[in-house]
């Protein structure tokens, strides 16, 4: 089983974490199954950017981004070339190193 190394995040996994993922599982589902409560305001339907992650190692082993994910990522806080929506990033055979950004943009909970 591939492993996902989550780099330390102040709130979600202060010590960092190493978890096992199943091939074909999304990064978001693997994280949630291992009590890393990554935000997913749209219930993993690719309609927001709250589950944005940066894939520090293994980016090229993930499934390809589709146009909708690319468009949404343009709105993500702290966008980097190796950014993905964790609800759309499907794990293959290789291990990953993932960083959860410090902030997310949640249009539902933002006050206008």
Our measurement of the distance from residue 99's CA atom to the centroid of its chain's CA atoms, rounded to an integer in Å, reads 8
Secondary structure (3-state) at 63: coil
Domain boundaries, the chain: 3-99
- Taking domain 3-99, whether its CATH number is 3.10.20.30 is answered by yes
Q: Say whether pTM exceeds 0.85.
A: yes
Q: What angle do CA 78, 58, 60 make, to 5 degrees?
A: 90
pLDDT in tens, 51-108: 999 999 999 999 999 999 999 999 998 999 999 999 999 999 999 999 999 887 764 4
* Contacts made by residues 10-18, CB under 8 angstroms, sequence distance 24+: 10/102, 12/36, 12/37, 12/38, 12/100, 13/100
DSSP 19: E
């Amino acid at each position: 089983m591939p492993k996902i190394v989550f780099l330390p995040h102040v709130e979600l996994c202060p010590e960092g974490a190493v978890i096992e993922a199943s091939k074909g599982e999304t990064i978001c589902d693997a994280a949630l199954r291992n009590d890393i409560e990554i935000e997913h305001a749209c219930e993993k339907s690719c309609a927001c950017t709250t589950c944005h992650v940066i894939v520090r190692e293994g980016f090229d082993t993930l499934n390809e981004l589709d146009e909708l994910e690319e468009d949404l990522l343009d709105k993500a806080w702290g966008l980097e070339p190796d950014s993905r929506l964790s609800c759309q990033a499907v794990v293959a055979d290789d291990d990953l190193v993932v960083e959860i950004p410090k902030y997310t943009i949640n249009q539902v909970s933002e006050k206008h």
